[in-house]
Amino acid sequence: MFRGTPVRHWLDAELGEIFGVAERPGPGTADLIYDQVAERLADPAFRPRALFRRFGIDVLATTDDPCDDLAAHRTLADDPGWTARVVPTFRPDRYLEPGQDGWDKAVARLGEAADTDTSGYGGYVRALEARRRHFIEHGATSADHSHADVRTDPLPEPEAARIYRAALAGTATEAETVAFRRHMLLEMGRMSSEDGLVMTLHPAVRRNHHPPTLRRHGPDTGHDIPLRAEFTDALRPLLERYGTAGGFQLALFTMDETVFSREIAPLAGFYPSVYAGAPWWFLDAPDAIRRFRRAVTETAGFSRTTGFIDDTRAFCSIPARHDMSRRLDCGFLAELVAEHRMAEDEAFETAVELVTVNPRRAFKL
């Protein structure tokens, strides 16, 4: 089932390099491997903090609900025995989608968390701004957004306010709630240009594609399926306003490879604020990563890419993912050197920058 997939590679790497498993998983080795892993997990050297140090992680960013008090982050930051950075990320999707069930309750919670009256549009915007400040105070450097598209068409403020009230009253049309969400994504860009949170976009996925599985197992259970993405026109209002503004930074992620050479690389090549995000989710794999570098580099170079980040929930796969990415980038650089498209000393320098300079700059770490 997993042959030729990164899941297989990650599994091999986790078992072999972290847990010291030498046997190939199979019916004849399953019990042996289970026992070996179980024994290791009981060892204090395999506790999460110990592994975190062993993995050499500089920064780990969680994604968090804007209403989260971030107490766990504060606890960790205050812990004298803990030196690595674990920072929150502002993830406001559900608060920006009046068309989704439970939006009215979410907005009410937002008002409580921000101690602000969100019965009107102005208070709602102020509440979002306040929660962003709360996140920044707790170390956040980014705000992460994932909607069906990334259109950023502005609404006149009275129209936004009118739709907001209608949505709370349950009378907004679908077209209105979509228009409001797009307007609010632009607003998120405005706030990022003001408070400095890097804006990261992961659009164009049909979440919960299979409703029966959603009902039985809940969201994030393997049936989110990508859609076509469009950035050129969608982001134009946002980039017209903030694309060349100092301090504003935007990282574009996609699972639609067609935009790599057609839209993302040209946008990152012109706008000093735009970074081409690392291949993500289904594309976080050897051949896809190579396609990404080949599609993006000729237009945007290396400096306009974020460098690799993973978004795994499988903690033990982190070393394997970063190791794989580094090997692939080095392989790509080696090809350029072998074809006399880059000098060897430049390739050595770029290989290091891609894991040091680039992600620190792109995500303001």
Q: What does the binding site for a copy of itself look like in residue numbers (CB under 8 A)? A: 1-6, 9, 24, 206, 209-213, 222-228, 230, 232-233, 236, 239-240, 243-244, 255-258, 261-263, 265-267, 270-271, 282-283, 285-288, 291, 294-295, 297-303, 336, 339, 341-343, 346, 350
Residue 48 vs 211, nearer CB to a copy of itself: 211
What DSSP designation does 156 have?
-
Within its chain, how far is the Cα of 296 from the centroid? 19
Question: How far apart are alpha carbons 127 and 142 in whole angstroms?
Answer: 18
Residue 1 vs 71, nearer CB to a copy of itself: 1
Interhelix angle 318-338/286-300, nearest 10 degrees: 50
- Closest distance to a copy of itself from the beta carbon of 313 (Å): 17
The CA-CA-CA angle for residues 114, 88, 314, to 5°, reads 135
Residue 110 vs 296, nearer CB to a copy of itself: 296
- Closest distance to a copy of itself from the beta carbon of 61 (Å): 25
SS3 content of the chain, % helix, strand, coil (to 5): 55, 5, 40
Q: Which of 287, 310, 297 is nearest to 347 (CA)?
A: 297
Residue 79 vs 298, nearer CB to a copy of itself: 298
- Closest distance to a copy of itself from the beta carbon of 153 (Å): 15
- Closest distance to a copy of itself from the beta carbon of 289 (Å): 10
What DSSP designation does 90 have?
B
Does residue 226 sit in helix, strand or coil? strand
Question: How far apart are alpha carbons 47 and 315 in whole angstroms?
Answer: 11
Residue 24 vs 105, nearer CB to a copy of itself: 24
- Closest distance to a copy of itself from the beta carbon of 353 (Å): 10
